[in-house]
Chains A and B, each alone.
Chain A
Amino acid sequence: MSSLFTDRFCLWLGALLYLAGFASGCLALIRKSQTGGGRTILNTLLAGGFFFQVTGLYIRGMATGGCPLGNPFELFQFVAWSAMVLYFVVGPAFRVSLLGLFTAGYAAGLALLSLLIPEWDAVRGQKIFGNNPWIELHAALAVFSYGVFGILALTSFMHLLQNWSLKNKRLDGLFWFLPSVVQLDQINRRLLLAGVTLLTIALGVGARYWVTAPDSVNVAKLLITVGVWFTYLLVLVLRWRGRLVSTRFTWTCIVLFLAAMMSLGPVNANRHRPSIPLVH
Chain B
Amino acid sequence: METPAPALFLLGASHHTAPLAVREKLSLDAARVTALAERLRQVSGVREFALLNTCNRVEIYGVAAETGVLTGLRRALGDITGCTPEEIDAVCRQQHNHEAIAHLFEVAAGLDSQIVGEAEILGQVKDAYAAAQEHRWTGPVLNRVFQKTFQAAKHIRSSTAIGQGQISVASVAVDLAGKIFGDLAPTRVLVVGAGDIGLKTVQAFQSRGAGSITVASRTLAKAEEAAAVAGGWAASMAELPEVLATADIVASSTSSPGLIITRDLTTTAMKHRPGRPLFLIDLALPRDIEPTAATLPNVYLYNLDDLARIAEDNLAHRQAEVAKCRAILAERTAALWPQIAPYLSAGSNGRDPV
Partner of B182, one of A166, A183, A242: A183
* Closest CB in chain B relative to A29 CB, distance in Å: 12
**Taking A245-B274, A246-B275 as contacts, is the C-beta distance between A32 and B161 under 8 angstroms?**
yes
Pick the 3 closest A-B CB pairs, nearest first: A242-B274, A180-B182, A245-B275
Residues of A within 8 A of B19 (CB): none
Complex contact A242–B179 (CB within 8 A): no
**Which residues of B lie under 8 Å from residue A182 when comparing CB positions?**
180-182, 276-277
Least CB distance, B295 to chain A, in whole angstroms: 9
Q: Answer whether residue B176 sits at the interface, using C-beta atoms and an 8 A cutoff.
A: yes
Kindly provide the distance from the CB of A236 to the nearest chain B CB, expressed in whole angstroms: 13
Are B298 and A180 in contact (CB-based, < 8 A)? no
Q: Name A166's closest neighbour in chain B (CB-CB).
A: B300
Interface pair A180/B178, CB less than 8 Å apart: yes
User: Are B179 and A181 interface neighbours, CB within 8 A?
Assistant: yes
Which chain B residue has the least Cβ–Cβ distance from A248?
B297
B179: contacting residue among A171, A245, A248, CB under 8 A: A171
Which residues of chain A in 222-243 are interfacial with respect to chain B, using CB atoms and an 8 Å cutoff?
239, 242-243
A138-167 vs B: 1/0 string, CB under 8 Å?
000000000000000000000000100111
Tell me whether A179 and B182 are in contact in the complex, defined as CB-CB below 8 angstroms, given that A169-B302, A169-B310, A246-B275 are known contacts: yes
Q: Closest residue to A178 on the B side, CB-wise?
A: B179
Determine whether A121 belongs to the interface, using a CB cutoff of 8 Å to chain B.
Answer: no
Asked whether A33 lies within 8 Å of B159 as measured between CB atoms, the reply is yes
Answer yes or no: B317 CB below 8 A from chain A CBs.
yes
Whether, in the assembled complex, B306 has its beta carbon less than 8 Å from a beta carbon of chain A, the answer is yes
For A181, what are the chain B residues with a Cβ–Cβ distance below 8 Å? 179-181, 277
Binding site for A on B (CB under 8 A): 158-161, 164-165, 176, 178-182, 274-277, 294, 297-298, 300, 302, 306, 309-310, 313, 317
Q: Return 16 A-B CB contacts under 8 Å, by A number.
A: A167-B294, A169-B302, A169-B310, A171-B179, A172-B313, A172-B317, A178-B179, A179-B182, A180-B179, A181-B179, A181-B181, A182-B277, A242-B275, A245-B274, A245-B297, A246-B277
Distance of B245 from chain A, by nearest CB (Å): 13
CB-CB under 8 A from B161, the residues of chain A are: 32
How far, in Å, is B167 (CB) from chain A's closest CB?
A: 13
Given contacts A33-B159, A167-B294, 17 further A-B contacts (CB under 8 A): A32-B160, A32-B164, A35-B158, A166-B179, A167-B300, A171-B176, A171-B310, A176-B165, A181-B181, A182-B180, A182-B277, A242-B274, A245-B275, A246-B275, A246-B298, A247-B297, A248-B297
Which of B164, B276, B298, B300 makes the CB contact (< 8 A) with A176? B164
Whole-angstrom distance between the alpha carbons of A171 and B309 in the complex? 11
Chain A positions near chain B (C-beta within 8 angstroms): 32-33, 35, 162, 165-167, 169, 171-172, 176, 178-183, 185, 239, 242-243, 245-248
Q: How far is the CA of A182 from the CA of B187 in the complex (A)?
A: 11
CB closest residue in chain B, given A183:
B182
Instruction: Give A167 to B300 CA distance when docked, in angstroms.
Output: 6
Contact B275 A185 (CB under 8 A): yes
Q: How far is the CB of A271 from chain B (nearest CB, A)?
A: 40
A residues within 8 A CB of B181? 180-182
List the B residue with the shortest CB-CB distance to A242: B274
Question: Which residues on the A side are within 8 Å of B275 (C-beta)?
Answer: 185, 239, 242, 245-246
Contact indicator A243/B178 (Cβ below 8 Å)? no
Q: Which residues of A contact B300 (CB under 8 A)?
A: 166-167
Q: Is the CB of A35 within 8 A of B310?
A: no
- Complex CA gap A35/B298 in Å reads 31
Identity of the chain A residue whose Cβ is nearest the Cβ of B248 in the assembled complex: A182
Pair B274/A243 contact, Cβ less than 8 Å = yes
CB pair A166 B176 closer than 8 Å = yes
Please give, as numbers and ranges, the residues of chain B lying within 8 Å of A162 by CB-CB distance: 179
Instruction: State which of B180, B274, B302, B313 has its C-beta within 8 Å of the C-beta of A180.
Output: B180
B109 CB to nearest chain A CB (Å):
16
Q: Which chain B residues lie closer than 8 Å to A246 at the CB level?
A: 275, 277, 297-298
The closest CB in chain B to the CB of A249 belongs to B275
Shortest CB–CB separation between residue B178 and chain A, in angstroms? 7
The reply to whether B159 and A35 contact each other, CB–CB distance below 8 Å, is: yes
A185 to B273, CA, bound (A): 14
Measured CA separation A171–B313 after assembly (Å): 10
Least CB separation from B161: chain A residue: A32
The answer to whether A169 and B274 have CB atoms under 8 Å apart is no
What's the Cα separation between A179 and B181 when bound, in Å? 9
Contact residues in A for B317 (Cβ distance below 8 Å): 172
Question: Which residues on A sit within 8 Å (CB–CB) of B276?
Answer: 182
CB neighbours (8 Å) of A242 from chain B are 274-275
> Could you tell me the distance between the alpha carbons of A165 and B176 in the complex, rounded to whole angstroms?
11
- Distance in angstroms from A120 CB to nearest chain B CB is 39
In the complex the two chains form, what is the Cα distance from A169 to B179 in whole Å?
11
The CB with the most chain B CB atoms within 10 A, among A166, A185, A243, is that of A166
* Complex Cα–Cα for A239 and B176 (A): 25
CA distance A157 to B107 in the complex (A): 41
A37 to chain B, nearest CB (A): 8
Partner of B180, one of A166, A172, A243: A166
Q: Which residue from chain B places its CB closest to the CB of A38 in the assembled complex?
A: B159
Q: Beyond A181-B179, A248-B297, is A169–B306 a contact (Cβ under 8 Å)?
A: yes
